[in-house]
Amino acid sequence: MSSSTEPSTRFASEWSRRHLLGLEYLEAREINLILDQADELHELTNGGRTKLSWLQGTVVANLFFEPSTRTRTSFSLAAKRLSADTVDFTSSGSSLSKGETFVDTARNIEALGVDQVVVRHRSPGAPGLLAKALKTTVLNAGDGTHEHPTQALLDISTIRRHRGTLEGQTVVLVGDIRHSRVARSNIWGLKKLGARVIVCGPATLIPPRIQDLGVEVSYSLDEVIGEADCINLLRIQFERQRGAFFPSIAEYAHLFGMNGQRIRKAKENTLILAPGPINRGVELTPDVADGKHSVILDQVRNGLLVRMACLYLLLKGGQS
Ligand code: CP
């Protein structure tokens, strides 16, 4: 059942961007606008369970050139909850196999009357390329090792909903920092909102000069776990690794995995986050993934609201 609640101009009137390419390019004020819009949508839709008519008559195309479960389904449902029509494209089975280019594919789908394009691609910068080539708004759903802005926004939204603020929170990002677009977007967003960020992992998975982004570095999870208000356990990006970055998965899990024994060294109220998908038994064990510290499914629920907020602000922002 669609609600006739009038579109809210509370946050949209202060929004002016047409594309969401990364959190590097947003000001703290703009990140807070998205989070505030998501919170308002939470109230108006009973946590994303009911529909609004705010994007009625518009079309959102989800263009996924890499696999996805959470991001694709969540963007698709976010568009539907705002009454937009959706077009879902995946590269497998498409005319890419006949030689059609990435940009031609997007232009042909745009020609069907699309207003917004959500794109995931293995190449860093692919969403930026579409932002120049298309007339639609463009939302980055993950581009190679560059950024995954809506994932970081939903991570940050989850922390803010639990803690009220990011200011002064110590957030530890654990694991494959080198290959992680989620880490990069989290660092930009968390630092802009006043959090202290520690990146932690094997030296081979920490990029050189990462401190230039304002983060601290640790090579021992046991040394920093007691300081953490939030611990975000990043997936080992086996598909992006070109070499052996640690001796064995068992050794990685022993030193950097979160398990029932290690979590006892954390604060009583530490939040455990993971962007998913989880390699159970590698980044974290099932007792932690499903345990009392875990907010992993809250992240997924908040992702729906954050993506509704982004779709609405990019298309309707700055109009009143
Ligand atoms: N976290 C995330 O981006 O998950 P998917 O790859 O399933 O979309």
Closest residue to atom 6 of ligand 1, CA basis: 68
Does the pLDDT of residue 240 top 70, yes or no?
Answer: no
pLDDT digits (tens, 9 = 90+) for 287-319: 999 999 999 999 999 999 999 999 999 999 986
Taking the centre of ligand 1 as the mean of its atom positions, its distance from the CA of residue 283, in whole angstroms, is 15
Most distant CA pair in the chain, distance: 58
Domains of the chain listed by start with CATH number: 2-146+301-316 (3.40.50.1370), 149-299 (3.40.50.1370)
When pLDDT is cut at 50, 70 and 90, the band that residue 170 belongs to is: very high
Taking the centre of ligand 1 as the mean of its atom positions, its distance from the CA of residue 278, in whole angstroms, is 10
List CB contacts of 21: < 8 A, sequence separation 6 or more.
127, 128, 131, 138, 140, 147, 149
Closest residue to atom 3 of ligand 1, CA basis: 71
Does the pLDDT of residue 263 top 70, yes or no?
Answer: yes
Provide the whole-model pTM. Answer: 0.95
Taking the centre of ligand 1 as the mean of its atom positions, its distance from the CA of residue 118, in whole angstroms, is 13
Is the CB of residue 96 less than 8 Å from the CB of residue 64? Answer: no
Q: What is the pLDDT of residue 242?
A: 57
Q: What is the pLDDT of residue 237?
A: 72
User: Strand 170-174 to strand 230-233: parallel, antiparallel, or no bridges (unpaired)?
Assistant: parallel
CA distance 83 to 3: 10
Q: Is 47 in the pocket of ligand 1 (CB under 6 A)?
A: no
Q: Determine the atom of ligand 1 nearest the C-alpha atom of 72.
A: 8
Q: Is 276 in the pocket of ligand 1 (CB under 6 A)?
A: yes
Q: Determine the atom of ligand 1 nearest the C-alpha atom of 66.
A: 6
Q: Determine the atom of ligand 1 nearest the C-alpha atom of 142.
A: 3
Does the pLDDT of residue 1 top 60, yes or no?
Answer: no
Helix 28-44 to helix 296-316 angle (10° resolution) is 110
| Nearest in space to 256 (alpha carbons), one of 154, 141, 173, 152 | 173
Q: Determine the atom of ligand 1 nearest the C-alpha atom of 74.
A: 8
- CB count within 10 Å of CB 130 equals 25
pLDDT digits (tens, 9 = 90+) for 2-59: 555 788 889 999 999 999 999 999 999 999 999 999 999 999 999 999 999 999 999 9
Q: Which of 64, 66, 69 to mutate to test the pocket of ligand 1 (most atoms within 8 A of CB)?
A: 69
Closest residue to atom 5 of ligand 1, CA basis: 68
Q: Is 275 in the pocket of ligand 1 (CB under 6 A)?
A: yes
Taking the centre of ligand 1 as the mean of its atom positions, its distance from the CA of residue 69, in whole angstroms, is 6
Q: Determine the atom of ligand 1 nearest the C-alpha atom of 67.
A: 6
| Nearest in space to 36 (alpha carbons), one of 71, 65, 8, 66 | 8
Q: Is 71 in the pocket of ligand 1 (CB under 6 A)?
A: yes
Give 91-97's long-range contacts (Cβ < 8 A, gap of 24+).
Answer: 91/64, 91/65, 91/66, 96/65
